[in-house]
Amino acid sequence: MLDRSVRLALPALAAAAATALPVQAAEQLTVDDIVAHVPVSGAPPSGFNWAPDGSRYLYTLPGASERARPVVRVFDVRTGRDRVLFAARASARGSRSRAIDQIVWSPDGSKIAYVDGGSLHVAAADGTHGRAVAANADDPQWSPDGKQIAFVRDHDLFAIAVATERARRLTVGGSATRLNGDPDWLYSEEMGVAHAYRWAPGGDAIAFLSFDESPVTAFPIQDYLPLVNTVEQQRYPLAGQKNPRVALRVVDVRSGEMSTLYDGGLRDEYLVGFAWDPSGRAVFDEIVDRAQRTLRVVRLARDGGAPVTIVHESDPQFVEVAPAPRFVGDGRTFLWLSDRAGVRALYRVDARTGAARRLTATYAVASLDAVDDRAGVAYVTALYPTRRDRSLLRIPLDGGGMTNLTPEPGAHRVALAERGGTAFIDAFSSYVQPPSVARRSLRGGASVALFHTPSLERFGLGRTREVTIPSRWGDLDAALTIPADFDPAKRYPVIVTTYGGPLGVGDHIGRRYPGLFTYLLAQRGFLVLDVGGPGERDDRASYARLFSRRMGALAIDGPLAAAAWLKQQPYVDGDRLGLFGWSYGGYLTAYTLTHAPSVFLSGIAGAPPADWRYYDSAYTERYMGTPQHDAAAYARASVIPAASRLRSRLLIMQGSADDNVHVMNSIALLQAFIRRGKQVDYFLFPDARHGPTGIPARRYLDAKMLDWWERTLR
């Protein structure tokens, strides 16, 4: 999935207070202020991870210096005791595109297992009595009785008895092309599969996905730095090319006996979210066809037999992948997220008949966060009361009215225990409220502040307001940031920031704080308009389906509508408009500057997919079909054929080790501009993946963007 998070304000936690000093007394923000080990906006706690019963939670704070390891701490809600657990060392994350939890609680919350520098450790819940129990471990998961821990090593599954520290190999054959219980890049990136194995409820077996990667093209990702100069061969299926062959298997933990429940490779299917039923006699698996027009939840009996379809959904354009079924306490029903009614909603489904009862109303549900069977409620994050708000709602499992636990307008990112507990963590921000973190009660009452953005009044920051942009597809959401000394009689240059591509529910532009780099630009005399595109709206399923076979032709209407609106404002210099985006936003920037060449004076395209034939199969085919059958749609959506139409100044930036949008995209685009005699600027971040990380690289990025706008829009 192309990443919206890499935006103009790359340090996502950078924030500022909205109250400004008189302009003559204001201190000017610098890049060093906002990109630092502890920036002027502070360093909030992160990585909150609750014990299943809600009695404790883990969280992470930065180390004492830039080079120091981040520190993991544990807080006991009952006693109020807070103590250091360990200083974390980075470790490899298998073949996945995204990091997963490497710290996991035992089922009863009395212990934790964690991977530190590749070594698996076990400790008491308060962090004491820690000991290393296995080397070269990844993705640990406790058995239901808390006596064993499974983990992945070299693409095979192992289990270790906690009492004896004796490890046993459960699968064989793991290699660069055979992944057992370890999600590959495609499933991790595009199908939301963080964990490719699950313990049976009785702890006697493990269901897992087995990936045969041998048909998949290996793309080289080279580290060019001196004395390193290594090449990583990443299995990356391009649109229309061969996918991994995936099977769902079960291994008996005691005997080692193996069986295959379903082989998706026979039909070139995706096997996505799966879960055991509470009896342990069957696994429920979500199966999606290669064209992604049909989704089935099938019951696969552990002792064999034909698959039984429980849920069947289809769409002539595409279906959206959902998280795995979540069984409730009665064992006969499970919770399921579906947009079958035109909006993503929570359903309670009969596990035998598939009969479904809708539990949520007309708002879109972004995630199912926890289920409290005893209280008979589920907790969901939803777009409520508007699509710009992110709120935590309590939903009765038997139907009835919901309760909004985060009524303040804005964006709430929450963490709570899987069984609910009594409290949750709320990381909150809005257009006018910089980030804060609090521990709040699920039952109401006072909250406990864990972090507030320090006062930045001395900087005299600008203001951000919500605006609506008219377009032929209906109103588009946007946010406009202006400087503190804004003069409506002046005419300002404007930087339009965009993503524009398909998103999961909850990722659309919302009422969240814009970040300090936006305010730095406003201090320098730029207005900044962040605009969402026609298909980027995520409160209705129909919006994403507008992308079908017209990636660029649809998305371009966002920047064009923004430019048209800006040119109608008396305080905007319509001849000095800039456009910026990263990932899909980078594609949209390059596409707009070549397909509507007279609208924007300059642009920055970060990690742009130049041609959809060069992007991965699962994402691209969902919206574009395959190049073999939809060649005309691919040609229309490509930036490359329109390279000769470029008139604007264009800066292309990317990481040399990008494993999401491979560098071949930028190289192909540069070659097209060279052949057509078009001058562009290009910058490569050494060894960076899909976005530069680390303080020096992020400072360099922000400084380079600031310099670009100063040189091209003044």
Q: Where does 533-642 have alpha helices with state H?
A: 541-544, 551-555, 557-567, 584-595, 617-624, 631-637
Per-residue pLDDT for 11 more than 70? no
Per-residue pLDDT, 102: 85
Which of 314, 279, 264 shows the shortest CA–CA distance to 144? 279
Beta partners for residue 494, in sequence order: 527, 577
Per-residue pLDDT, 304: 87
Per-residue pLDDT, 21: 42
Q: How far apart, in whole angstroms, are the C-alpha atoms of residue 427 and residue 450?
A: 9
Per-residue pLDDT, 224: 84
Per-residue pLDDT for 652 more than 80? yes
Per-residue pLDDT for 146 more than 70? yes
| Mean pLDDT value of segment 270-294 | 97
pLDDT digits (tens, 9 = 90+) for 15-72: 333 333 444 568 999 999 999 999 999 999 999 999 999 999 999 999 888 888 888 9
Per-residue pLDDT, 93: 61
Q: How far apart, in whole angstroms, are the C-alpha atoms of residue 234 and residue 187?
A: 13
State percent of the chain over pLDDT 70.
95
Token code pair at residue 91 = 């470790």
Q: Are 322 and 347 in contact (CB under 8 A)?
A: no
Per-residue pLDDT, 568: 97
Per-residue pLDDT, 9: 38
Per-residue pLDDT, 373: 94
Per-residue pLDDT for 99 more than 70? no
Token code pair at residue 657 = 């080790």
Per-residue pLDDT, 4: 62
| Mean pLDDT value of segment 639-667 | 96
| Mean pLDDT value of segment 590-604 | 97
Q: Which region among 107-121, 217-231, 235-249, 577-591 has the lowest average model confidence (pLDDT)? A: 217-231
3-class secondary structure, 209: strand
Per-residue pLDDT, 439: 97
pLDDT digits (tens, 9 = 90+) for 293-335: 999 999 999 998 899 999 999 999 999 999 999 999 889 999 9
Q: For residues 8-26, b (16+ Cβ closer than 10 Å) or e, as one string?
A: bbbbebbbbbbebeeeeeb
Per-residue pLDDT for 108 more than 90? yes
Domains of the chain: 23-29+455-713 (3.40.50.1820), 43-88+370-452 (no CATH)
pLDDT digits (tens, 9 = 90+) for 246-274: 999 999 999 999 999 999 999 999 999 99
Per-residue pLDDT for 559 more than 60? yes
Per-residue pLDDT for 101 more than 50? yes
Per-residue pLDDT for 94 more than 70? no
For 495, other C-beta atoms within 10 Å of its C-beta total 26
State percent of the chain over pLDDT 90.
84
Please give the distance of CA 467 from its chain centroid, rounded to a whole number: 25
Phi, psi of 491 (to 5 degrees): -120, 115
Q: Residue 8: pLDDT band by 50, 70, 90 thresholds?
A: very low
Handedness of CA 631, 633, 638, 642 (dihedral sign): positive
Per-residue pLDDT, 95: 61
Per-residue pLDDT, 223: 85
| Mean pLDDT value of segment 205-232 | 90
| Mean pLDDT value of segment 624-648 | 97
Name the residue with tokens 């471990």. 137
Per-residue pLDDT for 10 more than 80? no
Token code pair at residue 54 = 């809600």
Per-residue pLDDT, 128: 86
Per-residue pLDDT, 615: 97
The three state secondary structure string of 21-85 is CCHHHCCCCCHHHHCCCCCCCCCCCEEEEECCCCCEEEEEECCCCCCCCCEEEEEECCCCCEEEE
Which of 172, 129, 130 shows the shortest CA–CA distance to 154? 172
Q: How far apart, in whole angstroms, are the C-alpha atoms of residue 318 and residue 542?
A: 11
Strands 448-452 and 476-482: unpaired
Q: Are 75 and 56 in contact (CB under 8 A)?
A: yes
Per-residue pLDDT for 7 more than 60? no
3-class secondary structure, 596: coil
Tell me which amino acid residue 678 is. K
pLDDT digits (tens, 9 = 90+) for 392-411: 999 999 988 999 999 999 99
